[in-house]
Amino acid sequence: MEVTAYKTDMEFFVDMQRCIGCKACEMACAECETNGHQSMIHVNYVERAVSIQTTVQVCMHCDDPVCARVCPADAISKDDFGVVHSANTARCIGCSNCVMACPFGVPIKEEKYDMMMKCNMCYDRTSAGKKPMCATVCPSQALFYGTREEISRMRPNSTPVNTFIFGQQTVTTKVNIMMPKGSTHLKVH
């Protein structure tokens, strides 16, 4: 963590309408060295009986991460780059507070390990200046990792948004979601 080539101009951009549900990201996530062949990304059908729509969810890396705040064991930390790390294995007591409190439904309770695990934006790769596995392989580029300049060139009619409204609560995140041009936030309910 101390020696790092993390590129601060690179950001994560998600657009779940591009998702084709292929789960390449899920397979690739498990190839990330930090999570020991466990996949941390979520791909699920939204409502399979009526639609083929799938959604893909990486950790949004909140500016004020609810998961870390509700952790009774101080196991989750956010680093200087804004990456919210997976639970510290020594501390995590497997209580699932983070799993239930995360507004994006991201952390996973690994029952067999009695421990929470989550996406850390492929820290082994991003800290070495590489792109996360999921965004590298994503064949539809529902997951894109690159600079703001690149994304605005490629998708001129969309705006990256990182403000989400869940009822009374506004959450801001490091990861962006691509929205129609001019959008400022996504109201979830």
Site for other proteins in 2-41 (CB under 8 A): 2, 16-18, 20-24, 26-28, 30-37
Give the residue among 180, 186, 179, 171 at the shortest CA–CA distance from 63. Answer: 171
Among residues 48 and 148, whose Cβ is nearest to other proteins? 48
* In the complex, minimum distance from the CB of residue 57 to other proteins, in angstroms, rounded to a whole number: 5
Shortest CB 61 distance to other proteins, Å? 15
CB of 179 to other proteins, least distance (A): 6
Instruction: Decide: is 189 part of the binding site for other proteins (CB under 8 A).
Output: yes
Q: Which is nearer to other proteins, 9 or 189 (CB)?
A: 189
Could you say which of 7, 63, 78, 96 contacts other proteins (CB under 8 A)? Answer: 96
Output Rg (C-alpha) for the chain, integer angstroms. 16
Strand partners, 173: 62
Spatial distance between the Cα atoms of 130 and 124, rounded to a whole number of angstroms? 9
Kindly state the helix (H) or strand (E) to which residue 126 belongs, with its residue range. helix 123-126
Tell whether residue 80 is a contact of other proteins (CB under 8 A): no
**Site string (117-156) toward other proteins, x via CB under 8 A:** ---x--xx--xx--x-x--xxxxxx------------xxx
**Cα 128 to chain center, whole Å?**
18
The answer to whether the beta carbons of residues 159 and 178 sit under 8 Å apart is yes
Smallest gap, in angstroms, from Cβ of residue 82 to other proteins? 15
Identify any residues that bridge with 78 across adjacent strands, giving them in sequence order. 84
Within a 13 Å sphere around the CA of 76, how many CA atoms are in the beta-carbon half? Answer: 31
- Sole binder of other proteins in the list 54, 162, 173, 176 (CB under 8 A): 54
Strand partners, 12: 145
Quick one: which H or E segment has residue 169?
A: strand 169-180
Toward other proteins, which CB reaches closer, 7 or 113?
A: 113
Task: Give residues 157-186 in contact with other proteins (rule: CB under 8 A).
Answer: 157-158, 164, 166-169, 177, 179-181, 183, 186
